[in-house]
Amino acid sequence: MFQFINTLLIGITSGAIYALMALAIVLVWRSTRVINFAQAGQALASTYFGYQALQYIDSFWIALIIAMAGGAILSALIEVIFMRILLKHTTSGAIAGVAPIIATLGLLEIIRTLVTLKWGGADVIVKAPLSNTGFSIGSNTLVFSPMKLAIIAVVTVLLLVFSVIFQKTSIGLSLRASAFSPELARLAGIRVDRIRTLGWAFSGATGAVAGLLLVTNGNGSLSPASLEFSLLLISGFIAAVIGGLESLLGSVVGGVALGIITAFVLMYISDSLFFIAPFVVLLLVLFIRPQGVLGKKGGRRA
Amino acid sequence: MHKLSNKARIAIFIVLGFVIFLISNRVDELRVYQGATVAVYVVGIASIILLTGYSGQVSLGQGALLGVGGYAAALARLHWGVSVPVSFAIAILAAAAAGALLGVAAARLSGPYLAGTTLALAVGLPSIANQFTFLGGEQGLFYDVGFPPASLGEDFTQYKWFFWIAALATLLAIFWLQNVMRSRYGRTWKAIRGSDIAAELAGINIARVKILAFTLSAGVAGLAGALLAMTIGTVSPSAFPLALSFSLLTGAVLSGVTTLGGVMIGAVTLVAIPEIVHSVVDRIGASEAVATNLPSLIVSALLIVTVIFVPNGPVEQMRTKSKKVKSL
Amino acid sequence: MSLEVRNLTVNHGAITALSDISFTVPEGELVAIIGANGAGKSTLLRTLSGLKDASHGTATWKGHNLLSGKAETHVRQGVAHVSEGMSVIPELTVEENLDLGAIWRRNKSEAATTKAEVFDLFPRLQERINQSADTLSGGERQMLAIGRAMMSKPQLLLLDEPSLGLAPLLVKQIFDAISNISRQYGLSVVLVEQNAMGALKIASSGIVLNLGRVAMTGTSQELISDPAVQAAYLGY
Amino acid sequence: MKAFNRRKLVTASAMLAVTALTITTVPAQAFSPKSEVGVSANEIKLGITIPMTGAASPGYNKVPAAMKAYFDYVNANGGVNGRKITLVVKDDQYVPTQAVAKTNELILKDRVFALVSPLGTANNKAVAASVNPAKRGVPVLFVNTGFSGFADVKKYPTTYSLLPSYVMEAKIMAEYIKDNFAGKTIGLVYQDDDFGSDALAGFKTAGVKFATTVGYASGSQSATTAAGWVTKLKAANCDVVILFGVSSATAAGLGTAAALKYAPQWILGSVGGDATTIKAAGVPAGVLYNAVGASFLPSTTDTADEYVSLFSGIYAKAVPGSAFDNNVLVGMNSAFVTVQALQAAGKNPTRKSLIAAINSKGSTFASAGLLPLNYSASSHVGYNGYWFGKYSPTGDLKPDGGKYTLYTTDSGSGAVVKSTYKRPAMPAKGLPN
């Protein structure tokens, strides 16, 4: 029983982080119809922004906000400088459909290299603001710790903020309208280019949170070559697909579901299925419900 | 369309083969080894061109298919003791079978889904080797091609032998690929690439054609995998990393995915850039960190510039330009 | 305060879609543009609303050059375009679609007044205010599309095939509504239609486009009674 | 006209290939035909491939600088028979394809005399198969892997290793457990590949019974997955847990266990027991405290040890600000043994004479190791044992009771015995003659 609860908690916490990455992927997908594989690199760079900020100030939470701002600016710059030119130039031709995907892979490599040149290849440590020591019930210690609680709280708050922005404000309406029908949005007077940049900025900020939380959920070590960031990208993508790629709520459900499934497979079947399990989940989703768990056939809801 | 008669094409390939043969006798052993690596890349890149350029599908996990080919060849040679050509054939068949499975999934998926799925495949598949002891785990299996025939003389190096095998396999593969692309299937693929709907209206079974494209492409990738296994003498999960998939895709874009004509460009760039960069960096004495990171920075930048400014590749660009000039 | 189009030429790549078009829409009038499929009717509207670039000519509205600037700025000059085929966003609710039309307006209380006016015009929309637009019928969607355009308080309304795909009874309702709106608010309307008879009946004048050129202009009565128009477009 | 166009493309491609290959050709350095490759009148050139970047690089990427530091020390003191040693370093990113490519560059372009301390089992296997140093007669000194396959002298006549094999390590560890933790419930975390399976084989030979074993996929180790390991180990009530993996796995396991208030007696394998790497991965030194570790070299903080005090002094001067840890000690020790091998190879060393020298005199070479080197014509494996100790509160591995107790064994079914070997004194100034 205790093992079961612990497994569930492991799954929910890592799932919350996958969910953030999925959210970042979905935000870009909705605004630009591109899966941005550079997102892992952006999250990495933003996490380093946070690390850098921690060298000057003492508060992790302020560093988190700085990382979010840095991630948002980086992401917006990528959209303005890079994606606009890219999409303008690749409207036709054999690889028009896949060119943006390929280009974002190139971008991923460039960001990673630049991060290595700036901060070096060795591990740096980001100190967690809260204890990672698990809560105790009697003589048993749960996997759940104050830091993990904070991670789930941050994800929840972020999600609430997003849903208020998206559902209740005119900026949210602009974002959704631009995502679903850029032409109608323009006819309604929305400056779609700016809104798209805003969508990327939101995504960059979300990725920054995912990166910093990923690091502090672990031992706090961070390096440009970290495999975890590549895996974060793939888990985020799979979570987004489970959620149907369009829905913000869906990506959260997808992330948590993926986290829990993976945790149970590793605990009760074998640890060595680590790389295979998410892939199998992805294939199953694509075959059984290609529109995602929350996606509706034909229609897409925000 | 430029159409060359089959006879003329065969002649060109024979001449090309002869030129390669002459080169192999003139350059030193390191160049011969790099030549073999270029050949591996050429075949790997061609497999992506076949898939992406001719059927509009994208695979970010081609490295995994190379892995399937490499392991199949190594296992066949290790356990059944088959000859090298047979092990190549097995590599092609095994990878093609894997490609067919992937193709069934791919036929249901559009661009971004397919990209993500193949990416996940590239991460997940190599780790399978650790699950089954007969795959040799992390340290992998030997793939022994054997020594060059004694009749070639004492001085004949192993790498020249590898290069000859790789070059011959590459020439045959490219020749065959050209035939495929000039065939009815090739035209069908092009139709699909242009527009799924138009192709469907023309009565083409898109799913079947896409699966076929994936299968053939995977078969070619399998050959590349076997050649790669030959040049490094082993197969292991770390020999088929995500970076390999990215490199091949980069090479394909640099070559231009619409035509096989430029397939050398990407392959040579991938092999030459790190070396050129290193010799330049050594001369100007930049720091160690810059030296190790510069090549990937340059290759990635090249990739992006190509995607933006010459998305169809340099060869297609040249061709369109010369067409324009002619039409004036 | 009229729409003046002079010598307008628009190209689709190498193909000329519109060639040397000139016409005027006087203030408060409803002008129908009729023609066969591919005559360039939709291209004309898309050019006027800034979705497409012109290669040559001028188009001015209230002294503003409609051929420069992006679509999103046109709406601020009082130009609203209801594009072809039920231009609503199915993923949004009815109310969100309407709010979208007024999204650029700073004064939110004025926008609320406009919304009330739209509901007066199309009570059906109020009944379905919280439903997602993809649950609406074809006619309701068209009402929503026009309602969305009205939300920007336009003075020039560009309508592209509002009757497309609707049952005859609904077609009549939509045309009546358009005619009402035009009169009630003193709107200038450019109505592109394949249903030439329906359009000419509510229009004051008409323009016949053929293969990207103006084939004929005249008052609605003149066109309806013209034998050539009758043969080609009115199905006599 | 059109046919010509296509032909032009094909020729252009071919031309491009040829030019690119020739442009990048750096003319081979002129060596007089008599002298050996990589040996000139005043220089001996050696080469190393090792991950300098990438996920596998932390810790290992300190090795080349450590080796260079010692070589430079020797160079400053007259070199080897008047020749200075240079070390060409190539980054293989822990990818076999890269290892083969870089080794080819080392041998064919840089024309090194011998390879030293190349790292990684898969990489060394690929190099052995493809580059085939044996056939080229190129010595591969002191491969950095515990893979027992390289002990096959017939198959790899030019390859030598310093490290005991993983099988040996497991057998010795089993003996240590018998001596110190008899009757305890034992758990094992291992890397689920052949690194781990070598260890499993060793433990099996020694008859160790595990309450539970956790095999993790290489590369999957993180604090999150380690929470799963710890949950399993706790469920099996393990009092003693062996972490037989790479450093990042050790770090993940220790860090997560501390967070879950799980404190068994830890025993760390030598590969994953490097304290600096573990600490760099975010584990506080306090968590390492009292864990058992194994080594065949003296403790890096044992300043009373003449090798440690000399090497740490040299390293501090050569690479200021870098911690003197086990990776550095390993690197400098192999450089130290390399220098002796080169000296033993004669006034005008050739690759053949180098191999012959190690085979005949290798067992007499001095080294920082607390065990003898076992080189002979029939054995190319260096050390054959370990001592055990516990980590101090600052994360330094110190021998139990301040005394090095050494166990030795073989990779087969041989028994584990305590060694009585006493290391001879270090050559004066650490400069072998």
Q: What is the C-alpha separation between D291 and D272, in angstroms, rounded?
A: 12
Judge whether residue D4 has pLDDT over 80.
Answer: no
Classify domain C3-234 at the CATH superfamily level: P-loop containing nucleotide triphosphate hydrolases (3.40.50.300)
Domain of residue A55 covers: 2-134+148-227
The encoded tokens of residue D308 equal 């440690």
Q: What is the C-alpha separation between A95 and B193, in angstroms, rounded?
A: 9
Q: Can you say whether the dihedral through the CA atoms of A144, A149, A151, A152 is positive or negative? A: positive
Query: Between β-strands C56-61 and C64-65, what pairing exists: parallel, antiparallel or unpaired?
Result: antiparallel
Length of chain D: 433
Instruction: Identify the DSSP state of C32.
Output: E
The encoded tokens of residue D20 equal 């690119």
Contact D148, D198 (CB under 8 A): yes
- The answer to whether the CB atoms of A187 and C81 lie below 8 A apart is yes
Q: What is the pLDDT of residue B213?
A: 87
Q: Which residue has the tokens 């690091």?
A: A215
Confidence of residue D355 (pLDDT cuts 50, 70, 90): very high
Of C117, C105, C45, C114, the closest CA to residue C81 belongs to C45
Q: What is the pTM of this model?
A: 0.86
Confidence of residue D3 (pLDDT cuts 50, 70, 90): very low
Contact B97, B201 (CB under 8 A): no
C-alpha distance from A149 to closest chain C C-alpha (Å): 35
Candidate CATH numbers 3.40.50.11540, 3.30.420.40, 3.20.20.150, 3.40.50.2300; the one for domain D166-295: 3.40.50.2300
Q: What is the pLDDT of residue B206?
A: 75
3-state secondary structure of A246: coil
What ipTM was estimated for this complex? 0.83
Q: What is the pLDDT of residue D284?
A: 85
- The answer to whether the CB atoms of A133 and D225 lie below 8 A apart is no
Q: What is the pLDDT of residue A90?
A: 67
Q: Which of residues 214-273 of B touch D (CB under 8 A)?
A: 228, 231-234, 236-239, 241, 243-244, 261-265, 268, 272
Q: What is the C-alpha separation between B33 and B231, in angstroms, rounded?
A: 8
Q: What is the pLDDT of residue A144?
A: 86
Burial label for C37, CB within 10 Å (0-12, 13-18, 19+), is exposed
C197 touches chain A (CB under 8 A): no
Confidence of residue D420 (pLDDT cuts 50, 70, 90): confident
Q: What average pLDDT does the segment D400-426 reach?
A: 86
Q: What average pLDDT does the segment A88-115 reach?
A: 81
Contact C31, C204 (CB under 8 A): yes
- The answer to whether the CB atoms of C100 and A180 lie below 8 A apart is no
Mean pLDDT of chain D: 86
Percent of chain B predicted with pLDDT > 70: 90
C-alpha distance from D348 to closest chain B C-alpha (Å): 26
Judge whether residue B153 has pLDDT over 60.
Answer: yes
Confidence of residue D1 (pLDDT cuts 50, 70, 90): very low
| Cα separations in angstroms, A24 against A29, A80, A169, A239, C173 | 9, 17, 20, 11, 45
Which positions in chain B touch A238 (Cβ < 8 Å)? 116, 120
Q: Domain locations in chain C?
A: 3-234
Of B272, B266, B322, the closest CA to residue B53 belongs to B266
- In sequence order, what DSSP letters do the residues of D273-312 get, joined into one string? --HHHHHHTT--HHHHTT-EEEESSPPTT-TTSHHHHHHH
Q: What is the C-alpha separation between A222 and A213, in angstroms, rounded?
A: 11
pLDDT digits (tens, 9 = 90+) for B60-72: 889 999 999 999 9
In-domain check, residue A279: no
Give the one of A2, A225, A267 whose C-beta lies nearest to D228's C-beta: A267
C-alpha distance from A182 to closest chain C C-alpha (Å): 10
Helix axes B313-327, B263-284, angle to 10 degrees: 120
Choose the mutation target among B182, B264, B277 for the interface with D, i.e. most D CBs under 10 Å.
B264
3-state secondary structure of D406: strand
Give the residue on C whose Cα is nearest the Cα of A167.
C96
Query: Between β-strands C188-193 and D43-50, what pairing exists: parallel, antiparallel or unpaired?
Result: unpaired
Judge whether residue B5 has pLDDT over 80.
Answer: no
B238 touches chain A (CB under 8 A): no
- The answer to whether the CB atoms of B253 and A102 lie below 8 A apart is yes
Helix axes C138-150, C108-121, angle to 10 degrees: 150
Confidence of residue B1 (pLDDT cuts 50, 70, 90): very low
pLDDT digits (tens, 9 = 90+) for D81-112: 999 999 999 988 888 888 999 999 999 988 99
- In sequence order, what DSSP letters do the residues of A16-37 get, joined into one string? HHHHHHHHHHHHHHHHHS---T
- The answer to whether the CB atoms of A225 and D214 lie below 8 A apart is no
Q: One fold for both D43-164+300-384 and D166-295?
A: yes
Q: What is the C-alpha separation between D147 and D168, in angstroms, rounded?
A: 11
Q: Which residue has the higher pLDDT, B128 or D397?
A: D397
Range with the lowest mean pLDDT among A50-54, B49-53, B55-59, D48-52? B55-59
Query: Between β-strands D186-191 and D140-143, what pairing exists: parallel, antiparallel or unpaired?
Result: unpaired
| Cα separations in angstroms, A241 against A143, A250, D424 | 28, 9, 65
Query: Which residues face D418 on adjacent strands?
Result: D407
3-state secondary structure of B9: helix
Q: What is the C-alpha separation between C164 and C41, in angstroms, rounded?
A: 14
Range with the lowest mean pLDDT among A196-200, B57-61, C142-146, D41-45? B57-61
In angstroms, how far is CA D362 from the centroid of its own chain?
18
Confidence of residue D16 (pLDDT cuts 50, 70, 90): low
pLDDT digits (tens, 9 = 90+) for D158-193: 999 988 888 889 999 999 999 999 889 999 999 887
Q: Domain locations in chain B?
A: 6-241
C-alpha distance from D11 to closest chain B C-alpha (Å): 8
Contact D121, D96 (CB under 8 A): no
Q: What is the pLDDT of residue D11?
A: 60
Contact C2, C188 (CB under 8 A): yes
Q: What average pLDDT does the segment B197-220 reach?
A: 80
pLDDT digits (tens, 9 = 90+) for D365-400: 999 999 989 899 888 888 989 999 999 988 888 888
Contact C3, C49 (CB under 8 A): no
Q: What is the pLDDT of residue D12?
A: 61
- 3 state SS for C150-208: HCCCCCEEEEECCCCCCCHHHHHHHHHHHHHHHHHHCCEEEEEECCHHHHHHHCCEEEE
- The answer to whether the CB atoms of C103 and A189 lie below 8 A apart is yes
- Residues contacting B264, CB < 8 A, separation 6+: B38, B42, B255, D13, D14, D16, D17
Q: What is the C-alpha separation between D76 and D213, in angstroms, rounded?
A: 51
Judge whether residue C88 has pLDDT over 80.
Answer: yes
Give the residue on B whose Cα is nearest the Cα of D6.
B2
Confidence of residue A301 (pLDDT cuts 50, 70, 90): very low
Provide the strand spans (E) within D59-195. Answer: 84-91, 114-116, 140-143, 159-161, 186-191
Q: What average pLDDT does the segment C21-40 reach?
A: 87
Q: What is the pLDDT of residue D333?
A: 94
Judge whether residue B138 has pLDDT over 80.
Answer: no
Q: What average pLDDT does the segment A11-33 reach?
A: 91
Classify domain D43-164+300-384 at the CATH superfamily level: Response regulator (3.40.50.2300)
Which chains contact A through at least 3 pairs of Cβ atoms less than 8 Å apart? B, C, D
| Cα separations in angstroms, A255 against A16, A260, D169 | 6, 9, 42
Q: Domain locations in chain D?
A: 43-164+300-384, 166-295
Contact B81, B63 (CB under 8 A): no
Of D295, D288, D298, the closest CA to residue D266 belongs to D288
In angstroms, how far is CA C112 from the centroid of its own chain?
23
Q: What is the pLDDT of residue B258?
A: 77
B23 touches chain D (CB under 8 A): yes
Q: Amino acid identity of C221?
A: Q
Burial label for C107, CB within 10 Å (0-12, 13-18, 19+), is exposed
Contact D125, D149 (CB under 8 A): yes
Mean pLDDT of chain B: 83
Of C116, C158, C162, the closest CA to residue C141 belongs to C162
The encoded tokens of residue D16 equal 């491009």
Q: What is the C-alpha separation between D187 and D321, in angstroms, rounded?
A: 38
